[in-house]
Amino acid sequence: MILTQQRTVKMKKKIIKTCASNGRQPLKRRLNRERCSWKMWAVKKNQKKRMRHHSRRKIPAVMKIF
């Protein structure tokens, strides 16, 4: 969790730099969108890890059925 938080802070700083010229209003929306996408990415990564764990066991069972 700490790692992801550090990453989001870095991303926020980068976004603030890029959006400073655009004014303050779109900034909040951009930050929220980035946070959501980051969360989604983290969830997907965890799911992939979990899937990779079980895939070896599942494949032979499927082969037996057919």
**Residue pLDDT, tens place only, 8-41:** 677 777 766 665 655 555 566 666 666 666 566 6
pLDDT at 53 over 60: no
- Residue 28: its H or E element: helix 25-65
Residues with Cβ < 8 Å from 7, sequence gap 6 or more?
38
3-state secondary structure of 10: helix
The structural domains of the chain, with segments of one domain joined by +, span 26-66
| Tokens standing for residue 52 | 């990779």
27, amino acid identity: L
pLDDT computed for residue 1 by the predictor: 46
pLDDT computed for residue 65 by the predictor: 56
pLDDT computed for residue 18 by the predictor: 66
The DSSP 8-state label assigned to residue 24 in this structure reads S
Whole-model pTM: value is 0.26
Task: Tell me how far apart the alpha carbons of residues 53 and 55 are, in angstroms, rounded to a whole number.
Answer: 6
